[in-house]
Amino acid sequence: MPFPNQVSLIRLPFDLKVGLVAAHGLMAEDEKGAFKRLNVLRNRIVHDLHYDLAEKDEVDLLNSLGKRHRVRFAMVVRNDAEPMIFPDKLQMAINVMRTSLQLDREAAEAAHVRLRAAAIRVQDAVRNGRPADGVPGS
């Protein structure tokens, strides 16, 4: 988002926030369901302080993981390792989701920095009337 200070995201519904993240290319379409499922769990806990997470909650979240999250989850939770008991898989799935999102964000920020630097080089080249290094057609 080029000008994040121009909009207040705090009051936006979570589903819309998930959609914005996906629209910015930071989340695959099949990953949205897991974040929405996680929000369902959050809402249950927030609105019922006595709510106890159950194995069904864990299974529901695991079933909602997108392909990339499933692959990363499988890399961490190996079949030959000691079996994980509830709520370990739930915690691991949440960590995989969070880590994936953070890695994607960092990659997007790095790409933005590279694009910005390239744009500055092009602007400088245009101003100075010379070819820009590494820019096609210059």
Q: pLDDT digit string (tens) for 57-97? A: 999 999 999 999 999 999 988 777 788 889 999 999 999 99
Q: Do the domain assignments include residue 85?
A: yes
Q: Do the domain assignments include residue 5?
A: no
Predicted local confidence at residue 132, as pLDDT = 58
Q: Are 64 and 33 in contact (CB under 8 A)?
A: yes
* Average pLDDT score, the chain: 90
Give the pLDDT band (50/70/90) at residue 4.
Answer: confident
Q: Do the domain assignments include residue 106?
A: yes
Structural domain including 30 reads 11-127
110-122: average pLDDT: 93
Q: Do the domain assignments include residue 118?
A: yes
Predicted local confidence at residue 135, as pLDDT = 56
Q: Do the domain assignments include residue 81?
A: yes
Predicted local confidence at residue 5, as pLDDT = 83
Is the pTM of the predicted complex or chain greater than 0.85?
no
Predicted local confidence at residue 36, as pLDDT = 97
Alpha carbon dihedral 109, 112, 118, 121, in 10-degree steps, equals -80
Q: For residues 64 and 34, what is the distance between their CA atoms, to the nearest angstrom?
A: 5
H or E stretch including 130? none
Q: Do the domain assignments include residue 6?
A: no
Give the pLDDT band (50/70/90) at residue 137.
Answer: low
**For 7-28, how does the pLDDT look when each residue is reduced to its tens digit (9 = 90+)?**
888 888 999 999 999 998 889 9
Predicted local confidence at residue 131, as pLDDT = 66
The percentage of residues in the chain with a pLDDT greater than 90, rounded to a whole number, is 67
Predicted local confidence at residue 9, as pLDDT = 83
Q: For residues 6 and 11, what is the distance between their CA atoms, to the nearest angstrom?
A: 14
Q: What contacts 24, CB < 8 A, 6 or more positions away?
A: 1, 108
Q: Do the domain assignments include residue 115?
A: yes
Q: For residues 46 and 54, what is the distance between their CA atoms, to the nearest angstrom?
A: 15
Number of domain units in the chain: 1
Predicted local confidence at residue 109, as pLDDT = 92
Q: Do the domain assignments include residue 57?
A: yes
